[in-house]
Chains A and B, each alone.
Chain A
């Protein structure tokens, strides 16, 4: 024990001496991300291997609680402090470009045509006027979690493959008490969780619509397809034979964890927290296909970008670092450590990854995934929540409630892009 400490100390000193003595001046760059245990661990691993391959570059990672992240970045970069490479949510890209916090990726190292080809298609949302500004290491998508025990108990063979099968399975899985109160839901429901993504990019498209037009600047779901999608969704809990209930056990994921829900649609980030639940046997399947067999999924991701602060040799080092953390190798590390999906088919669609019983359905879902360009994600989600609440709590007809949501959302988009 002692010896190893002494050895490390010695090694540290020699390497420090080597750095000081080395002819090429060492470059130090800073990397910022928000704090999430697994992400920090993964990045530490990546930095270690990067520094090994590039001994003249040192990367310092700083992380903050998610709540302070944006404020700190905004304050630091214009002051010439802070990160050279920064992590941001894909939805913040426009804000960061407009505020002059990040610079476009150099065409020599990150040729746009090559990225278009190599990455899953939804990453093209990071391209503005033909130039990429940021790239993800990992992405997330949706899939259907199902409770294997409850399926067995209800005598269902396997997860539903179509939306109609989903309703049939859900009916068989729903349980009620003597008074008719639901005590086990067939499938969880709630726009507050991931359902608003499922509805927007999944259901609306599967019923033949296009949720947004004009590069996500125009709301386009107040259509027959939108109404059909909302009818399908709201019938789960407002229909003649409800198979779900909004607010059942407080939160959809809680109901699924407690074994009181047969099925649950959620993101790949849920895998970690489900893995530790004792006594819960669950499986994952791709989102059920639509009436005409259409598959559609939603994907979100965090990206890495080079800030405007990075100049000269720091810029060159930042480019090298970004090249490394978007490499196939880095993506595999991220999948193994964090459980987030690789952003390139070359890593994701390998035999081993694509057929993985847990990650496979998510990764396969990426091929038909869309990324909503939100102006204000929480406000836009809130509109979906309220759209359902108006129908449920105020008995408003579906068409009317959908029209209000579409108008309100258009207002948010207009205000954002009108600036």
Chain B
């Protein structure tokens, strides 16, 4: 107590500030940074969860570089990103743009678009999984076969499976992005549009010269947010392919699923940690690049 009394006011303020900061700092330290550091450590070790950990140096990373499944999975992860992000960005913008102009049943329609975002990903993935089944259970294929069109193998195909898994994931994320876009659209001052109207400018010029440039912060946020989401895609893939996770022939397997499989089926924690470190680096690089590219000057 004596010690505290001797402090200056400034020092006391600092002490109090740290007293309050201690909770989040401790939380981040114990829940975030310690496990992250530990994961990086384990990636240089061999550990099956039961025995002791042994140092193996770069073995796990060498194994990773030589593993054809890893490169396949690496490619898949980027396919999810490169198809998913632009597609959901364009779709959500188009919907938000038109929904913004609509007065009739506006709230109801917005709710309909937002509903999938609130639905459990697991439940949704299973419903879509059943949609995709061959006859006699699958909804889509039953339509096709009634119309006399040959069935489409949605999930049991190396080419169709990834887009089929991605579709509900895009749909599920759409609602959130639409809301953000609409908030962004509303935030643009009306005076710009009025000026444009007075000058007699067409809708396309208004869109490309006013709306899109002023939406830049919104677009940056959505691109970064949805990119991270697609790079970490797991629940949709896992639930739609539980019998053969990431299959057929690894054609839908994303990196996170491979990590899960290595850690909790093969109990090869070191190898899984190495994959995690790689995923972390990818996320870091992609986010930094996007922030730089889309930063408003």
- By a beta-carbon cutoff of 8 Å, the part of chain A in contact with chain B is 67, 70-71, 73-74, 95-96, 98-101, 177, 179, 181, 183, 190, 192-193, 245-251, 260, 376, 378-379, 382, 385-386, 389-390, 393-394
Contacts and interface: CB of A to CB of B under 8 A. Distances in A.
B135 A177 contact: yes
Contact of B248 (A71, A95, A393): A393
Interface residues of B, number: 30
A228 B86 CA distance: 49
Nearest to B48: A95
Nearest to B135: A181
Contacts, number: 79
Given A183-B135, A378-B266, A379-B266, A389 B248 contact: yes
B248 A250 contact: no
A260 B136 contact: yes
B136 A247 contact: no
A193 B136 CA distance: 20
B218 interface: no
14 contacts: A71-B49, A95-B48, A99-B51, A101-B50, A177-B136, A250-B133, A376-B266, A378-B261, A382-B244, A385-B244, A390-B249, A393-B157, A393-B248, A393-B249
B145 interface: yes
B156 interface: yes
Interface string B106-145: 0000000000000000000000011001111100000001
Instruction: Please list the 9 inter-chain residue pairs (A to B) with the smallest Cβ-Cβ separation, ordered nearest first.
Output: A99-B50, A192-B243, A99-B51, A378-B265, A74-B50, A389-B248, A181-B135, A247-B156, A183-B136
A249 B133 CA distance: 7
Interface string B235-264: 000000001100111000000000001001
B111 to A, nearest CB: 31
Interface string B27-46: 00000000000000000000
A273 B147 CA distance: 36
Given A379-B265, A394-B158, A389 B243 contact: no
Nearest to B149: A179
Contact of B155 (A247, A249, A382): A247
B261 to A, nearest CB: 7
Contacts of B133: 247, 249-250
Contacts of B148: 179
A250 B129 contact: yes
Contacts of A181: 134-135, 145, 151
A82 to B, nearest CB: 13
B42 to A, nearest CB: 14
Contacts of A73: 50
B150 interface: yes
The residue among B50, B156, B249 with the most chain A CB atoms within 10 A of its own CB is B50
A413 to B, nearest CB: 13
B242 to A, nearest CB: 9
A177 B145 contact: yes
A190 B243 contact: yes
B150 A95 contact: no
B150 A179 contact: yes
B249 A386 contact: yes
A67 B265 CA distance: 10
A47 B185 CA distance: 67
A181 B264 CA distance: 38
B247 A385 contact: yes
Given A95-B48, A181-B151, A250-B129, A393 B244 contact: no
A70 B268 CA distance: 13
Given A99-B51, A389-B248, A249 B243 contact: no
Nearest to A390: B249
Given A389-B247, A393-B158, A98 B134 contact: no
B176 interface: no
B267 interface: yes
